[in-house]
Amino acid sequence: MTERLRVRFVKLGKVRFTSHRDVARMWERAVRRSQLPVAASQGFNPRPLLAFGLALPTGAESLAEYLDITVVDGAAVVPLDQLARDLSAGLPVGVEVAALGWVTGDAGSLQEQVTSCSWDLEVRGVRASELARRVEQLLGAPSVPVQRERKGRAVDDDLRPAIRSLSVTPRQQDCAGGGSVWLQAELATRPRGVRPRELADALGADVVLGRARRTQQWIEHGGERREPLGMGAGLGTAIAAHAWERAS
Amino acid sequence: MRSLWPSIEPLLDGVTKPARYIGGELGALTPEHRPGAVSWLLIYPDTYEIGLPNQGLQILYELLNERPDALAERAYAPWVDMEAAMRAAGVPLFSLENHLPATDFDVLAFNLSAELVYTNVLNLLDLAGLAVRSAERSAADPLVLAGGHCAFNPEPLADFIDAFVLGDGEEVVGEITEVIGSWRAQGSERQALLEALASLDGVYVPSLYEVRYAGDALAEVVPASPAAPAEVRKRTIADLAAWPYPKAQLVPLTEVVHDRLNVEVFRGCTRGCRFCQAGMVTRPVRERPGEQVREMVRAGLARTGYDEVALTSLSTADFSSIEETVRAIVGGECGDQQVSVSLPSLRVDAFTVATATEIARARRTGLTFAPEGGTWRMRRVINKLIREEDLYGAVEAAFANGWRRVKLYFLIGLPTEQDEDVLGIAALARRCVEIGRAYHRSPTVVASVGGFVPKAQTPFQWCRQDTVEELRRKINLLKEACHKVRGLSLRWHDPEASVVEGLASRGDRRMGAVIERVWRAGGTFQEWSERFDMATWAEALAAEGLSFDAVAYRARDEDETLPWDHLSAGLHKDFLWSDWQDALAAVAVEDCRWTPCYDCGACTGAGLEHVVASPVPPAGGSQGTGQDLSRGDRVPVRFTAGVGTR
């Protein structure tokens, strides 16, 4: 009887320059090293059954990445706090497990479930007051047109419906600080997600996007909003702070 | 020690594949720079993806970092977008571990695996902030070293590199460290350091030699200092078992070539393929004990989490313990998870396919063989003694065992080559497709054709190289002959790149100015087809009064001075010459691992022996050993279409 294990992990510091595919390979190796009894795909080239959530753009950091691992025999899995340590030990500096938990069988995949993501975005090139004015303007606009390329063709899209919330963070205190302003945004994933860079561009050509950090992913269902996996007992925050120290 | 990371980080948002520049691989060390420790920056002058897996560099990286008196970091050539960003921001070449500027190191050591990277070497010196020419650098600058197979004709880079290392690096890097350490303690001139280095076996300091010409011809390269030996001999480690490295292979965070565990099973090769510089310059054969290989696989898989291991060597099917080793790995003795094994450089025979079948239970996509020559006569000339029956047997076994794609490597432009030898490639490939049809509806055969480049320290070092036009004509012959054959596809290497490689492989010291001109004209990453530019090379050659005719297209006489005559890979020059004469007469020689010595010089001259566990040739014993070579061109009749519908 296969069971699904959900992992929440962070990606911070230098390792943020690796791609989504790179992260998938890191996890495959870490899972093999941990000796977790992971299920394999069928076919000529069996791969461990790892299902990743929304891709994180290369260069962005995250406190809330998710991964579902299908295991062959849940009873054979070591205690989860032990497993979290084993997995983190096999991952590069900056990638660490923040929480682990079992998922009930009928929950959909991460890709299907997640409806929006919260971001902290570092912005340079404009003062906080000017940025706040533009944010108001953007939120007040009926539509925010953008040109995208799909299947090699230019398509007109509207960013506005996907911008759930946007605000200038007051007096952000962050180790990366210094001459920059931080935005907080919640961006929907459907029908099409908004990339942090697209949002920055929509705020003006002079707006330069610095660090982008995904802080939360959300599942909205029947008016309720929850995270795919809570941080649980402060474990996540503790690990994130620690990972941040080591990775930068 | 100042980390450049704060200046590097902002550049990474705007470049392709930024993970190339962050370091942080599993196995990477962050050595502490300390007084009394000689700091080495090991540089692979190509992209991170190509350079990271290089085993030679990783071995030296570990050995140096184990020493109390040394430390080592790594650097690779930044791609053109990153280089432009670095130059614009004033960021010099940096190390990946501590992100330190290259000039913070005592030694910059380049790995030279291919000739077309030479312009990158100059570019990296310049990016480091150094003068490219040795004569213009001072004692305050890092010492610039280079090693690797290309160092067996180092003359084209002689003006840029302070010292070359010939042969195995394991022992000599320690000796060089000690020489630098004591030179630094004494605080003497750069010249004293160079002379001390020249006294080490295997170290060639080109500035201590004088090059004399007679008209346009090279007359001699002779010592100009009492410290310089008349002949520099390569270094050879006697016993691979004493060097179980790398112990902690680097596992990159991003995709690279050969992204798997690599375990070297033997070094050297005595099959005697006459075109193969690697086989000639790495003799004798030194096997690693089977038990040590299995232990390295076991430890490596557990440490890295890889699910694939390559057993590396120049001809892995010849490894005495190949069967036990493969059985142990696929049988789960080296780890409980499913592991696939890859054997680069497969020998061509049915036995080898049986081994390959055992290891490729899951992934059976393609199998590659390298007959190199299209006819049995051609294969006798190059001493690649694959009989037709071995090749067709191997191909049939491959298709019968579920492979659908067979790839065949060939060379064109070989000595004594006639059009019928070239067309033999097409005939042979077509026949392989026919064999495949007996097993699959749509078998695929890929014939990949490269232009032969004569290399230093091989029997073909005297040979003329085909012109670009001649290579193109031969490729066209093949295109016609392969046209509209369903299931057969032909691929070929750019003849212009082969010819430029020939300039660097056999050029003398005058080629340095050509390389410098090409670099100054922006010609970096010349081994990348999108960056290669023939016109730049032609212009640079003409500007230096040189020509393709004089360097590449010309055969050499027995008594001509070769630019590398003062350097020895252990092979007697008269052995090489007689092997060349045998080649011209299509006379083959057997593998000396299992037959009497014919005194090539590699063992006898250095007091070494082959280290081979098996006293008999491998089962299937192809390539001449114990085979009837008189019928190498016989095609067994049972391979006609319709046979073997199992």
B113 neighbors B80 (Cβ within 8 angstroms)? no
Within a domain: B165: yes
Instruction: Enter the tokens of residue B100.
Output: 């330190």
Model pLDDT, residue B645:
36
| CATH of residue B129 | 3.40.50.2300
Model pLDDT, residue B642:
41
Sign of CA dihedral B162, B81, B114, B73: positive
Residues B141 and B266 both lie in one domain: no
CA triple B625-B630-B632, angle to 5 deg: 75
Does any CB of chain B come closer than 8 Å to the CB of residue A30?
Answer: yes
Model pLDDT, residue A237:
47
Residue type, B642: G
* Beta-carbon count within 10 A of B337 CB: 16
The arithmetic mean of pLDDT across residues B333-342, rounded, is 80
- B19·A17 Cβ contact <8 A: yes
Within a domain: B200: yes
Alpha helix (H) residue ranges in A78-187: 80-89, 110-113, 128-140
Q: Cis before residue B284, ω within 30 degrees of 0?
A: yes
| CATH of residue B267 | 3.80.30.20
Confidence bin at A235 (pLDDT 50/70/90): very low
Q: Give the structural domain span for B84.
A: 5-233
The arithmetic mean of pLDDT across residues A51-67, rounded, is 95
Distance, CA of B495 to CA of B143 (rounded, Å):
36
Instruction: For residue A30, give the chain B residue with the closest CA.
Output: B305
The arithmetic mean of pLDDT across residues B56-69, rounded, is 98
Distance, CA of B568 to CA of B332 (rounded, Å):
44
Distance, CA of B287 to CA of B344 (rounded, Å):
16
Instruction: Enter the tokens of residue A74.
Output: 């849940």
Model pLDDT, residue B621:
58
The arithmetic mean of pLDDT across residues B85-97, rounded, is 98
Residues B192 and B277 both lie in one domain: no
Instruction: Enter the tokens of residue A57.
Output: 């753009």
Residues of B in contact with A32 (CB under 8 A): 305-307, 337
Matching residue, tokens 């080559």? B417
Residues B143 and B215 both lie in one domain: yes
Confidence bin at A130 (pLDDT 50/70/90): very high
A128 exposed, middle or buried (CB, 10 Å; 0-12, 13-18, 19+)?
Answer: middle
Is CATH 3.30.70.3270 the right assignment for the domain spanning A3-111+228-247? Answer: no
Q: Which of B587, B606, B625 is the last residue of a domain?
A: B606
What is the tens place of the pLDDT at every residue in B168-211?
999 999 999 999 999 999 988 999 999 999 999 999 999 999 99
What is the tens place of the pLDDT at every residue in B561-612?
999 999 999 999 999 999 999 999 999 988 888 888 888 999 987 788 888 8
Mean pLDDT of chain B: 92
Task: For residue A172, give how far its alpha carbon lies from the nearest alpha carbon of chain B (Å).
Answer: 21
Q: Considering only CA atoms, which of B318, B309, B233 is closest in space to residue B271? A: B318
The arithmetic mean of pLDDT across residues A188-214, rounded, is 92
What is the tens place of the pLDDT at every residue in B416-470?
999 999 999 999 999 999 999 999 999 999 999 999 999 999 999 999 999 999 9
What is the tens place of the pLDDT at every residue in A215-230?
999 999 888 889 998 6
Distance, CA of B157 to CA of B146 (rounded, Å):
9
Model pLDDT, residue A248:
52
Within 8 A by CB and 6+ apart from B50, the residues are B44, B256, B257
Does any CB of chain A come closer than 8 Å to the CB of residue B22?
Answer: yes
Instruction: Enter the tokens of residue A197.
Output: 């860079």
Whether A30 shows a pLDDT value over 70: the answer reads yes
Distance, CA of A51 to CA of A66 (rounded, Å):
9
Within a domain: B516: no
Confidence bin at B116 (pLDDT 50/70/90): very high
Q: Which of B233, B251, B281 is the last residue of a domain?
A: B233
Within a domain: B385: yes
Alpha helix (H) residue ranges in B90-222: 118-127, 172-186, 190-198
Residues B277 and B185 both lie in one domain: no
Count of domains observed in chain B:
2
Whether B646 shows a pLDDT value over 60: the answer reads no
Q: Considering only CA atoms, which of B195, B223, B226, B198 is closest in space to residue B210? A: B223
The arithmetic mean of pLDDT across residues B349-360, rounded, is 73
ipTM over 0.95: no
Alpha helix (H) residue ranges in A16-127: 20-34, 80-89, 110-113
Q: Which residues are registered as beta bridge partners of B368?
A: B407
Within a domain: B625: no
Residues B229 and B347 both lie in one domain: no
Phi, psi angles (nearest 5°) of residue A234: 70, 0
Within a domain: B101: yes
A43-52, A193-202, B303-312: segment of lowest average pLDDT = A43-52
Residue range(s) of every CATH 3.30.70.580 domain in chain A: 3-111+228-247
- B305·A22 Cβ contact <8 A: no
The arithmetic mean of pLDDT across residues B78-99, rounded, is 98
Model pLDDT, residue B117:
98
What is the tens place of the pLDDT at every residue in B469-502?
999 999 999 999 999 899 999 999 999 999 999 9
Does any CB of chain B come closer than 8 Å to the CB of residue A86?
Answer: no
A115-225 has which fold? Alpha-Beta Plaits (3.30.70)
Alpha helix (H) residue ranges in B507-638: 511-520, 534-543, 548-551, 573-584
B609 neighbors B486 (Cβ within 8 angstroms)? no
Residues B225 and B284 both lie in one domain: no
Whether B622 shows a pLDDT value over 70: the answer reads no
* Beta-carbon count within 10 A of A143 CB: 10
Within a domain: B378: yes
Model pLDDT, residue B596:
81
Residues B268 and B180 both lie in one domain: no
Confidence bin at B639 (pLDDT 50/70/90): very low
DSSP readout, B352-366? HHHHHHHH-SS--SE
- A14·B364 Cβ contact <8 A: no
Residues B123 and B47 both lie in one domain: yes
Q: Considering only CA atoms, which of B545, B582, B577, B541 is closest in space to residue B558? A: B577
Task: For residue B365, give how far its alpha carbon lies from the nearest alpha carbon of chain A (Å).
Answer: 9
Listed by number, the residues of chain A in 188-247 with a beta carbon closer than 8 Å to a beta carbon of chain B are none
Residues B227 and B264 both lie in one domain: no
Could you tell me which residue, A242 or A26, shows the higher pLDDT? Answer: A26
Residues of B in contact with A178 (CB under 8 A): none
The arithmetic mean of pLDDT across residues B379-396, rounded, is 91
Within 8 A by CB and 6+ apart from B626, the residues are B594, B617
Distance, CA of A209 to CA of A213 (rounded, Å):
11
Angle between helices B290-304 and B322-330 (to 10 degrees): 30
Does any CB of chain A come closer than 8 Å to the CB of residue B180?
Answer: no
Does any CB of chain B come closer than 8 Å to the CB of residue A93?
Answer: yes
Residue range(s) of every CATH 3.30.70.3190 domain in chain A: 115-225
Q: Which of B233, B251, B271 is the last residue of a domain?
A: B233
Residues B229 and B340 both lie in one domain: no
Q: Considering only CA atoms, which of B575, B534, B570 is closest in space to residue B285? A: B570
Whether B227 shows a pLDDT value over 70: the answer reads yes
Residues of A in contact with B25 (CB under 8 A): 92
Q: Considering only CA atoms, which of B380, B610, B564, B377 is closest in space to residue B458? A: B564
Listed by number, the residues of chain B in 299-328 with a beta carbon closer than 8 Å to a beta carbon of chain A are 302-307
Model pLDDT, residue A236:
46
Q: What are the angstrom distances between the C-alpha of A111 and each of A31, A167, A217, B501?
A: 21, 26, 11, 50
The arithmetic mean of pLDDT across residues B326-333, rounded, is 87
The arithmetic mean of pLDDT across residues A81-86, rounded, is 94
Residues of B in contact with A46 (CB under 8 A): 338, 362
Residues B451 and B499 both lie in one domain: yes
Q: Considering only CA atoms, which of A176, A68, A59, A164 is closest in space to residue A118? A: A164
Distance, CA of B46 to CA of B113 (rounded, Å):
10
B96 neighbors B74 (Cβ within 8 angstroms)? yes
Residues B377 and B228 both lie in one domain: no
B240-249, B491-500, B611-620: segment of lowest average pLDDT = B611-620
